Amino acid sequence: MKELLELEESGLRELKDAHYVKSVLYKDMLVLVMKIPGNSDALLKKLSKELSESLKVKVKVIEHTNDIRKVVAQLLSPVRVLGVNMVWLPDGTQIYSVRVLRSDERLFPMDKNSLEELLHLITGEYFTIKLE
């Protein structure tokens, strides 16, 4: 992405060691998946803010990892994820069940069905979000 290169040149030197994995534009939200060495939480937040301002669209930058729970937690932030369970269906397929508090539903970045579809586009797995 051209914007990432511009941010690196304008002062975000931490991006030098970062690797762009992929991006997904879904409805009014852009999700960037990146590999960033070291403790990257502050950098991810700063990067999200800078890209949101320059692209004029809501941007969420998440760290590339094989840990499904971490990906879900980063995407749903600030919503607290109570648990992520794998459910095996009778036809042999698997689906991840994400449990969150019903009171946190108002904090979702988009509606529940859109989040399930966005998680599928990012990870390639199927998800259902359950409110408790």
Q: What is the pLDDT of residue 76?
A: 93
Average confidence score pLDDT of the chain? 90
Summarize pLDDT for 86-132 with one digit per residue, the tens.
Answer: 999 999 999 999 999 999 999 998 999 999 999 999 999 999 999 99
Specify whether the CB–CB gap between 7 and 50 falls below 8 A.
Answer: yes
Q: At what angle do helices 112-123 and 68-76 cross, to 10 degrees?
A: 140
Q: What is the pLDDT of residue 81?
A: 95
